[in-house]
Amino acid sequence: MDTFQLFISAIFVNNIVLAQYLAQCPYLGCSKERSVAVGMGVAVVFVSLITTTLTWLFQMRVLVPYDLTYLQTIIFILLNAVVVQCLEMFLKKKIPVLYSALGIFLPLITVNCAILGIAFMVHRLEYSLSTSLLFAAASSTGFLLALVLMSGIRVRLNTFRAPKSMTGTPQALIMAGLMSMTFMAFKGMI
């Protein structure tokens, strides 16, 4: 698979949220407002790139050479936690509005299964560092795209009159299912 196909595939065909079904909690929780969705998406892109770099280097330089691959999950979560803590301190100091808007979802990036899923997929598919970074950028951009699209739909649905039992989470779940089916149409592209 060439670079362009990998990039398009990770964003549309194998979207981390809509095809792989990872990171549903922040996808549904942060998609109520567009600004929060964009902030969370950009934070995930940033954390994903740094975490993928660190996990790839740690895997290739420490875990594999010393036959410690059984520690992979713990190490990946720890590396992700360090990156998220640094990001959290930065946002709290420099962008307090985004920090307060993200709320509980910012620390949850630590165990965001999209970021951990990307790190595990990179090693399972045995990508080089450059291909790993491209895959991480494309996958997290797919997360950002899904989040922004969902926030646009949810903002529009707030003006729509629906039965009380169908507002909020039920509406969001139905829309997530419809978006997932829509993104399945991209499977024929690649």
Residue-level pLDDT, tens digit, the chain, 190 residues = 689 999 999 999 999 999 998 988 888 888 888 988 898 898 899 899 999 999 999 999 999 999 999 999 999 999 999 998 998 899 899 989 888 877 777 777 776 789 999 999 999 999 999 999 999 999 999 999 999 999 999 988 888 888 888 888 888 899 999 999 999 888 877 6
Where exactly are the structural domains of the chain?
A: 12-184
pTM, two decimal places: 0.89
Contacts of 53-62 with C-beta under 8 Å, sequence gap 24+, read: 53/129, 53/132, 53/133, 54/79, 54/83, 55/79, 55/80, 55/119, 55/122, 55/123, 56/119, 56/122, 56/123, 56/129, 56/132, 57/129, 59/123
Residues ≥6 apart with Cβ < 8 Å to 129: 53, 56, 57
Spatial contact of 16 and 142, defined as CB atoms under 8 Å apart: yes
Other C-beta atoms lying within 10 Å of the C-beta of residue 82: 14
Angstrom distance (rounded) from CA 97 to CA 93: 10
Report helix, strand and coil shares of the chain as percent, to nearest 5: 80, 0, 20
- Name residue 188's amino acid: G
- pLDDT (0 to 100) of residue 35: 87
What is the chain's mean pLDDT, rounded?
90
